[in-house]
Amino acid sequence: MMKEDLAVTNFRNYIRIKTVQPNPDYAACTEYLRGQAKELEAELQVVECVSGKPAVIMTLPGQDRSLQTLLLNSHTDVVPVFPEFWKYEPFSAHKDENGDIYGRGTQDMKCVGIMYLEALKRLKKAGHKFLRTIHLTFVPEEELGGTEGMGQLVKMDVFKNMNIGLALDEGYANTSDKMELFYGQRTPFPIYIRIQGQPGHGSQFIPNNAGEKLRLVINSVLGYRNEQERKLRENPELHLGDVTTVNLTVVEGGVQTNVLPAEIKVTIDARVAPSDVGTFEAKLQGWLKAAGDGITYEARELCVLKEQTCVDDGKNPWWDAFSAACKKENLVVEKKIFPASTDMKYVRGLGINALGFSPLNNTPRLLHDHNEFLNEKVFLRGIDIYYSIILNLANLKPY
């Protein structure tokens, strides 16, 4: 039986720590990361922006600390599981005969955090020095939107003093030979609508009732959804992140069968494409106005994302260094807008270059799904890729 690569063992041990929402074991996770920092000989800080929700920060000082730095970010929490649907216990990090490692977080995104660490260990062992300082952040609460994790960390002096030039964070697995690179992301726009109307007996034609207004709101919202879906389907050059999605997710209201409700509440999950930022809310207001009076809304945790990192060759030295490393590793990279949401929304909001990248190809996309797994060969290949990427970025000369 072949001896397991130590990097794989470290990865599996990380998966076994139950940092699962809604009650992540952050204490055990922090202790594990302390051990990794010690092995890496990195400076370590544990910052609790919110009590009980630690961000672990490792730092490898560069030769010129006046230069902008490289940030390698990952989140420590994972989404809930339904064990009855899993082939193996979700936190066992079971490895089958094919080398597939099963566990919540294998793709999203504990793999990337360990890839960073293992690539840096190899780089140091090989005697490489870094011109620029490298920071690694392991942050909490990303799966709940990051408001009590990266959302708070970016406001603190410890983050501001990092002087970050480029931040790397998660991307997606790709089922083909290609790898996806995300240079921006859509704006998460959860919308909470309250529709008030005239109550009355269910046997009557009551004017100005909430149900009729709801129908008009839904027609407008889902009509726009169909329009955007058609736009994506008819243009092969577009990806999901290039269009806006709006989906009806929650409807609440009513007291009993024969009583028209005085109020209906509706929740809409909208993800606004960069091209729609600045115009989408006006569309929403128009739909609600057309549906009648007594309709109000609020959008919570809105983080407007117009910022995109330049990924045109010759126009951004950070991108050129990243791209050169990908070419060295013979990667075929597809550049896209990230369709969902990551902690980079807070970093991009500060005007910092940010790229989303998980070096996982020939892998089914199973983040948040049952039986999430990652093959150990894909994992080890990811370390090789980050070896080249980190080496290029950390030694990017002043520009």
Ordered DSSP codes for 260-307: E-SEEEEEEEEEE-GGGTTTHHHHHHHHHHHH-SSEEEEE-S------
With residue 333 as reference, give the H or E element that holds it. strand 333-338
CA distance 309 to 13: 34
Burial of 255 per CB tally in 10 Å (0-12, 13-18, 19+): exposed
CA distance 348 to 250: 30
Could you tell me if 74 and 110 are in contact, meaning their C-beta atoms sit under 8 angstroms apart? yes
Could you tell me if 135 and 69 are in contact, meaning their C-beta atoms sit under 8 angstroms apart? yes
- Residue 250: how many CB atoms within 10 A of its CB? 10
Which sequence positions are flagged as catalytic? Answer: 77, 142
The helix/strand/coil state of 56 is strand
Q: Quick one: tokens of 34?
A: 């302390």
Residue with token string 């690569």? 5
Q: Quick one: tokens of 37?
A: 């920092």
Q: 11 — phi, psi (to 5°)?
A: -60, -45
